[in-house]
């Protein structure tokens, strides 16, 4: 499975989405831009997408709040990074308000995306304060934590958040 992303104005992306009603797409926006996310087994319908291979998928596209943890990883670090994500605790799936997760391997860049979808921003914030979040991130900052493997990260990771734009 693949995920393709493209950015543009909300109007443009709504028109693009309406041209492909049978495709699995989610339109989201932040304070400045819109982004259309296309999940498919096939090819992208976008002209110049950011392509990703789905390494892990739970749940279906939806919710009202999307969080993307963008993590640059060196070529040498990819096997270690992917191994760590394959070993993840999988506790997020049990959280109230959780809708979906996608672990995305970049096909044309060095930045992995861990995308989670939530029923609401408050559900995501509750997850961040939960024991499950604490357990999922318990090695962070320790010798065993992947964040201490500085040589595999060419630059800092960053988080982007989006609101889902409803059809209409």
Q: What is the pLDDT of residues 47-84, one digit of tens each?
A: 999 999 999 999 998 999 999 999 999 999 999 999 98
pLDDT over 90, % of the chain = 72
Confidence of residue 146 (pLDDT cuts 50, 70, 90): very low
Higher pLDDT, 137 or 160: 160
Architecture of the CATH domain 2-164: 2-Layer Sandwich (3.30)
- Residue 11: CB atoms within 10 A of its CB come to 9
What's the pLDDT score for residue 91? 79
> CB of 4 within 8 A of CB of 53?
no
With b meaning 16 or more CB within 10 Å and e meaning fewer, what string describes 111-143?
Answer: bbbbbbbbeebebbeebeebebbeebeeeeeee
| 79 Cβ contact partners less than 8 Å away, ≥ 6 residues apart | none
- The pLDDT mean for the chain works out to 89
DSSP percent split of the chain into helix, strand, coil, nearest 5? 25, 35, 40
Digit-coded pLDDT (tens) for 88-108: 778 788 889 999 999 999 999
Report d(CA 22, CA 16) in Å as an integer: 12
**Which DSSP state fits 98?**
E
Token output for 117: 């979808």
Domain layout of the chain by residue ranges: 2-164
Whether residue 134 is predicted with pLDDT greater than 90 in this model: the reply is no
């Amino acid at each position: 499975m693949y995920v393709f992303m493209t950015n543009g104005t909300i109007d443009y992306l709504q028109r693009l989405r309406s041209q492909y009603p049978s495709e699995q797409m989610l339109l989201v926006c932040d304070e400045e831009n819109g982004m259309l996310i296309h999940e498919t087994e096939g090819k992208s319908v976008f002209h110049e997408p950011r392509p990703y291979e789905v390494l892990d998928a739970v749940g279906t596209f939806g919710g009202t709040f999307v969080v993307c943890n963008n993590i640059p990883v060196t070529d040498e670090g990819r096997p270690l990074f992917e191994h760590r994500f394959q070993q993840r605790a999988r506790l997020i799936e049990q959280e109230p308000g959780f809708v979906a997760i996608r672990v995305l391997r970049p096909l044309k860049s060095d930045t992995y995306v861990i995308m989670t979808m939530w029923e609401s921003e408050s559900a995501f914030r509750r997850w961040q304060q939960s024991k499950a979040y604490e357990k999922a991130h318990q090695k962070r900052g320790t010798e065993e934590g992947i964040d201490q493997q500085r040589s595999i990260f060419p630059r800092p990771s960053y988080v982007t958040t989006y609101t889902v734009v409803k059809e209409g």
